[in-house]
Amino acid sequence: MAVPSDKFYEAEIIERRDFSHDLWAVRIRPGGELKFAPGQYATFGVVEDNKVIERPYSIVSSPYEDTLEFFFELVPEGELTPRLHKLKSGERLVMRKVAKGRFTLDTQSGHKNHFLVATVTGLAPYVSMVRTAQRDWKEGKFPAQHHLYILQGASRSWELGYREEMEGHAKEVPWLTYIPTISRPWEDKEWKGEVGRCEDILRKYSDQFGLAPGNTTAYLCGHPEMIEKAKGILQRRGFLKESLREEQYWVQK
């Protein structure tokens, strides 16, 4: 099948990093310019039997970087991820030329606090936001008094991809707080950090940091069940629809 070149780039995987047996990251040379804002997603996949099998993926990298980075979770019964999981450096993909999405940082409401909640790969858009803010901050362009509070949940600590990077940024800059949490501590005896699902500890941190409806925009990304529950908790805390942003990665059966 000739993939229409007005719609797709021929992209190349140039690096791969595995976090666990079912979580990995790749760096991709898109094969042309892909304009995007931190928080947006790209759509790509593989060509097989004359059809494109494609899915949306949040972009991990910052627009300041030359290549794109993505963070995947293998869905064993899925159509695309088992195919992506086999791909190594040097192999090719087809990528739509346009990035999309509205899951970007709120710069309109005047809220100075950003409460960013993610399950596992749902951290991807926040990594892009942090990498971008990091560079802006070094150049004196990061808006004063804004603070990003990131809560990332996983079952076990080795599923917290990008934890080290986030902890590194949080040590370096005054505007970032990063809280990793695991929900199955009995399977991860060495873990000394926070425990519980994101939605279990959300309220505690929103109270502790004073993340209130009048000063905070909340972002929920990843697992549909987390989003549903977290949204309910935040709404009962007084958050209005316009202060809640969500990026649901799949639909619960």
Ligand X SMILES: Cc1cc2nc3c(=O)[nH]c(=O)nc-3n(C[C@H](O)[C@H](O)[C@H](O)COP(=O)(O)OP(=O)(O)OC[C@H]3O[C@@H](n4cnc5c(N)ncnc54)[C@H](O)[C@@H]3O)c2cc1C
Interface residues toward ligand X, by CB under 6 A: 41, 55-58, 70-73, 75, 77-81, 101, 121, 124, 247, 249-251, 253
Q: Which is nearer to ligand X, 41 or 239 (CB)?
A: 41
Q: Which is nearer to ligand X, 211 or 244 (CB)?
A: 244
Smallest gap, in angstroms, from Cβ of residue 193 to ligand X? 23
Smallest gap, in angstroms, from Cβ of residue 250 to ligand X? 3
Return the axis-axis angle of helices 198-208 and 224-236, rounded to nearest 10°: 30
Taking residue 203's Cβ as centre, other Cβ atoms within 10 Å add up to 15
Q: Which is nearer to ligand X, 194 or 247 (CB)?
A: 247
Q: Which is nearer to ligand X, 106 or 142 (CB)?
A: 106
Q: Which is nearer to ligand X, 31 or 56 (CB)?
A: 56
* Distance between CA atoms of residues 107 and 150, nearest Å: 17
Smallest gap, in angstroms, from Cβ of residue 73 to ligand X? 4
The dihedral formed by the CA atoms of 85, 95, 93 and 166, expressed in degrees to the nearest 10: -40
If we measure between CA atoms, which residue out of 153, 164, 27, 163 comes closest to residue 88? 27
Taking residue 223's Cβ as centre, other Cβ atoms within 10 Å add up to 23
Nearest residue to ligand X, scored by beta-carbon proximity: 78
Smallest gap, in angstroms, from Cβ of residue 122 to ligand X? 7
Smallest gap, in angstroms, from Cβ of residue 75 to ligand X? 4
Phi, psi of 226 (to 5 degrees): -60, -45
If we measure between CA atoms, which residue out of 123, 105, 122, 94 comes closest to residue 12? 94
